[in-house]
Amino acid sequence: MTARERLNQLKEKFGPAIQRADLPGDSRLFAYVEPATLKAVCQYLFRELDARYVISIGLDDRPFSGKFLVAHNFAFDRDRLLCSMLAHLPADHPEVDSIAPAVPGANWAEREFRELVGIELRGHPYPKRLVLPDGWPDGVHPLRKDVPWNQVPADFDENAEFTFDDPPAGCTVVPFGPFHPTLDEPEHFRLYVEGEMVRGCEYRGFMVHRGIEKLAESVLTYNDIPLMAERICGICGCVHNVTYAQAVETAVALRPPPRAEYIRTIMLEIERLHSHLLWVGLACHIVGFDTLFMQSWRIREPIMWIAEKISGNRKTYALCVIGGVRWDITPEVKVELRHLLDKLEREWREVVAAVSRDKNIQKRTRGVGVADQALIKSLGLIGPVARAAGVDIDCRRDHPYAAYDRVDFAVITDTGGDVWSRVVVRMNEVFESIRIIRQCLEKMPEGPLQASIPDELPPGRLGLSSVEAPRGESHHFVITGENNRPHRWRVRAPTYQNLQAVPMMIKDQQLADMTISLGSIDPCFSCTDRLETIDLKSGATRVWSQAELIRLVRKT
């Protein structure tokens, strides 16, 4: 169905409660809903129309509309449609019914905007603190427009400690983190263990939340933000770079030149290659197969070299600007990349054969960390986690962007829903990435790298963008603003949704399986935490001004 047809369904069901709608095209729908009806609308989309839940956003819109705004985003993947259900709330008492009882995947997102924006939730099933530091005072909401981006509340309590729930009767508490040998980032899973079996879990994360969304609307400009967006994740730099750029481009109806779209596609698939090779190596390491760990990383290293030749960085940084890309792919690099893909394909087939035959890996991964289709639907799980359970979703095909609508590839799925199936999906997706890059090298036209754009983008435009990261869908929501920066930018990384399923995936499983079950979602905790610097010698911290950052960027 088109956006217009979906809108007609909503109007037939809810009548005047659908106050107005914006349809920028057949693939986007923004519907403004009576606040009292918002929960029912979202339940209808999710339960009866089978839309996939994406993310929820809260916004202090008082400087423009005099109200607060809440938005719940959904996807109709087979229709290639992204939609947002929005409702304005009064400035003096912003409150709305929670949709989490009907759409469980909205649990975290609603708790987040309750803390950061101060929108109260009626009927939320678990309104416990999620994001703000333990000592942050109640009533101070940092994403409100009247709170400065660098404010530290005077009554912030550095000694406050997070209060965990009581463990179930008969269970022992086993702390997993906040620092753990197999995790590179601080996250705390409080495991409730009976003997060797995990019976429950409480999660406390967001320990290095960086406030990038506040910085984006306060001190950065549109073309500053890609440099920060690509640092959201240690792997998916190009993913967040492209997702943000496309959100702004869709908001203002700007399309990059075709050559730029092909280059974005190539770099996204190079990023997928080095991410999947890294993950398969780490998975082998977690279960004790270090020989294949080293082989996987050896095969991966030339991918990092070619990324550096194209972008100047092993981490595919600094590719995008609004309206295009910075770097071209030269004829010499095209030849080298083709040779690299041929060698990679040969060597990766040997790795896949070795992993597929290894009975020890299968014993450690089959039936472990299961996420079935019901859990995937309920929590909005995405990427290899969903595809490993036979849920056939992939933003590259379902919501095509860059040059993905001009190349052929298969969406890899499996049926087990366990760690082994996630291994299979990722291993086979490597071959599809090689196939996509080869097609792009053949089809990429000549032409400019950047579109011409006006000095100022029009304010008040809404943009949605979804990009298939190696871990799953990255989704960015943008409302354009004044002063050459967004009015609101919301980032939803794939780990944000998939991490919510870990307590269910490990329940009633052995404690020894916790590490590989968690690792199987390929977690990036920094993605969920979304710049200050620390001098490693002295320990001194420093906050950089906008002018200093600009000087540093131009100097380098």
Q: What is the pLDDT of residues 397-408, one digit of tens each?
A: 999 999 999 999
Are 151 and 292 part of one and the same domain? no
Cβ atoms of residues 203 and 514 within 8 Å? no
Lowest mean per-residue pLDDT among 108-122, 307-321, 329-343: 307-321
> Two tokens at 283?
């998975």
* Other residues' Cβ atoms within 10 Å of the Cβ of residue 411: 15
Where does a domain end: 161, 195, 222?
161
DSSP 16-37: GGEEEEEEEETTEEEEEE-GGG
Where does a domain end: 101, 131, 161?
161
Domain tally, the chain = 2
Lowest mean per-residue pLDDT among 3-17, 48-62, 506-520: 506-520
536, pLDDT greater than 60: no
Are 220 and 281 part of one and the same domain? yes
Predicted pLDDT at 284: 87
Query: Could you tell me if residue 460 is inside a domain?
Result: yes
Are 156 and 218 part of one and the same domain? no
293, pLDDT greater than 90: no
- Residue among 423, 429, 481 at smallest CA distance from 456: 481
Query: Could you tell me if residue 266 is inside a domain?
Result: yes
Burial class of residue 155, CB neighbours in 10 A (0-12, 13-18, 19+): exposed
Are 230 and 149 part of one and the same domain? no
Predicted pLDDT at 532: 37
* pLDDT tens per residue across span 380-390: 999 999 999 99
Query: Could you tell me if residue 552 is inside a domain?
Result: no
411, pLDDT greater than 90: yes
CA 375 to chain CA centroid, nearest Å: 19
Give the residue carrying structure tokens 């860059």.
Answer: 402
Query: Could you tell me if residue 424 is inside a domain?
Result: yes
Are 105 and 218 part of one and the same domain? no
531, pLDDT greater than 60: no
Predicted pLDDT at 544: 54
Predicted pLDDT at 185: 67
Taking residues 323-329, what's their average pLDDT? Answer: 93
How far apart, in whole angstroms, are the C-alpha atoms of residue 470 and residue 48?
Answer: 30
Check residues 373 and 149 and name the one with the higher pLDDT: 373
Contacts of 235 (CB under 8 A, 6+ apart): 271, 274, 275, 278, 470, 524
Are 239 and 136 part of one and the same domain? no
Boundaries of domain holding 464 = 212-531
Check residues 176 and 8 and name the one with the higher pLDDT: 8
Are 151 and 263 part of one and the same domain? no
Where does a domain end: 140, 161, 182?
161
Are 94 and 26 part of one and the same domain? yes
Are 59 and 154 part of one and the same domain? yes
Paired with 463 in beta bridges are: 478
Are 22 and 155 part of one and the same domain? yes
* pLDDT tens per residue across span 228-265: 888 887 777 889 999 999 999 999 999 999 999 999 99
How far apart, in whole angstroms, are the C-alpha atoms of residue 225 and residue 221?
Answer: 6
Are 243 and 109 part of one and the same domain? no
Any idea what the Cα angle at residue 494 is, between residues 489 and 500, rounded to 5°? 110
Residue 315 banded pLDDT, cuts 50, 70, 90: confident
Q: State the CATH number of the domain containing residue 110.
A: 3.30.460.80
Predicted pLDDT at 29: 97
Query: Could you tell me if residue 538 is inside a domain?
Result: no
> Two tokens at 292?
């294949």
533, pLDDT greater than 50: no
Q: What are phi and psi of 529, to 5 degrees?
A: -85, -20
159, pLDDT greater than 70: yes
Are 276 and 144 part of one and the same domain? no
Query: Could you tell me if residue 536 is inside a domain?
Result: no
Computed over every residue of the chain, the mean pLDDT equals: 91
Query: Could you tell me if residue 166 is inside a domain?
Result: no
Predicted pLDDT at 530: 52
Residue 186 banded pLDDT, cuts 50, 70, 90: confident
Residue 549 banded pLDDT, cuts 50, 70, 90: low
Compute the 3-state secondary structure of the chain and give helix, strand, coil in percent, each to the nearest 5: 45, 20, 35
* pLDDT tens per residue across span 5-19: 999 999 999 999 999
96, pLDDT greater than 80: yes
Query: Could you tell me if residue 388 is inside a domain?
Result: yes
Taking residues 92-114, what's their average pLDDT? Answer: 97
- Residue among 418, 416, 427, 291 at smallest CA distance from 364: 418
Q: State the CATH number of the domain containing residue 261.
A: 1.10.645.10
- Measured between its terminal Cα atoms, the distance across the chain in Å is 48
Can you say whether the dihedral through the CA atoms of 459, 464, 467, 473 is positive or negative?
Answer: positive
How far apart, in whole angstroms, are the C-alpha atoms of residue 257 and residue 387?
Answer: 32
